[in-house]
A = this chain, B = another copy of it.
Amino acid sequence: MTSIYLTEPGTKVSYHNQQLQIKQKSRQVITRLAEIDLLVLFPGVQLTDVAIAVLMDQGIETIFLRRDGQFRGRLQGQFATNPLTRIAQYRVLDSTFGTALAQRLILGKVTNQRAILQRRHRDTGKKNNALAEAIDLIGAYRLSLRSGLGNSSRDQLMGIEGICAKHYYQVFQFCLPEGWSFTGRNRRPPKDPVNALLSWGYGVLLARVFSAIVQAGLDPYLGFFHATQPYRPNLALDLMEEFRPVVVDQAIVRLLRSGILDPLDFEPSYDGLGIWLGITAKKLFLTELESILQTSFLYSPQSRRLKLQQIILEQARCLGRCCLESSLDYEPFTLS
């Protein structure tokens, strides 16, 4: 199955004979509809009315992103799933069981944040004291999360998540090559290239996680950790936690270390207050993100290797099953 990202303004997508025809300035690509599982569209991409109809009828997840990578919306055809999953989800929402699920999701996140730092620490001969300290601190919170599984309140979880994120982003600069300054997370708008990459990448990841959640029959707006704040796809933000370091942060580290991306590939945002990815930066970053999503990892609940994009879907399905069966049988996906 193929995920197709269309970033280039002026791209036209039409349908003919069970195939999507994708016309760009320089080239034309034809893909069989049966091979596509996700279509992600950036501004300036035109779908014909027939293409829209076919995408909805065939249940191919079609997502519209903004220029800054944020989720704008999607085509909603008929739900092809069992609504009992959503009923179960709602039953769990205000329960200690829901908070216990949230605890596993946050455990996954901090475990993966720590793993990213550990890798760097090993690669650099364990000489960086700041890295060592952050790894230890996050490790302590991780242990407390693991040992007290199901015992924390949501406020406590919020606190732990926030503290670990602070420690993590404080030393994230040491994972990056020289020439890319990063002194902590900022956004809306991001004020430097690394923050721009983080914001844009999390937007793209959110779209995929949102799509996986809908495919699993869950309501993306009602979460366990992010709870039920209006105007936010809370469950998508929940499930995304464990995948943020694995997909986005890793892609940024790899891309910047490869030396291919240049600070000139970024540009000031329209309002001049922030930094945006230029078209080349978007393409290079999407390629890196997609390469990670296509990488196979051991998926221990099923004792087999799966592509990361499939693992995201399986984790969404697992959340659905946990709700349906009132079972806490959710293992976050972690980098070993």
Q: Which of B50, B78, B84, B86 contacts A73 (CB 8 A)?
A: B78
- List A218-249 residues whose CB lies under 8 Å from chain B: 219, 221-222, 228-231, 233-234
CB-CB nearest in chain B for A71: B78
A54 CB, nearest partner CB in chain B, Å: 10
Mark A76-97 against chain B: 1 for CB-CB distance below 8 A, else 0.
Answer: 1111111110110011011000
In the bound complex, how far is the Cα of B168 from the Cα of A193, in angstroms? Answer: 68
- A42-86 interface bits toward B, Cβ cutoff 8 Å, 1 = contact, 0 = none: 011111111011001100000010000001111111111111101
In the bound complex, CA of A87 to CA of B88 (Å): 11
User: Number of A residues contacting the other chain (C-beta, 8 Å)?
Assistant: 43
- Chain B residues with CB under 8 A of A219: 83, 86, 219
CA distance A234 to B230 in the complex (A): 24
In contact, B57 and A72 (Cβ under 8 angstroms)? yes
A91 to B83, CA, bound (A): 14
Q: How far is the CA of A116 from the CA of B52 in the complex (A)?
A: 39
- What CA separation (Å) do A234 and B80 show in the bound complex? 13
Q: In the complex this chain forms, how many copies of it are found?
A: 2
Q: Which of A52, A79, A233 has the most CB of B within 10 A?
A: A52
Instruction: Kindly report which residue of chain B lies nearest to residue A66, judged by CB atoms.
Output: B53
Nearest chain-B residue to A228 (Cβ)?
A: B83
Q: Are B56 and A73 in contact (CB under 8 A)?
A: yes
Contact in complex: B47, A49 (CB < 8 Å): yes
Task: A43-B50, A80-B231 given; name 15 further pairs at CB < 8 Å.
Answer: A41-B49, A44-B49, A46-B48, A46-B49, A52-B64, A53-B64, A56-B72, A73-B77, A74-B76, A75-B76, A78-B233, A79-B230, A79-B231, A83-B230, A86-B222
Pull 19 A–B residue pairs with CB atoms less than 8 Å apart, ordered by A: A41-B49, A43-B49, A46-B48, A56-B64, A56-B73, A57-B72, A73-B77, A73-B78, A74-B76, A78-B231, A78-B233, A83-B221, A83-B222, A83-B234, A86-B90, A86-B221, A87-B222, A87-B228, A90-B91
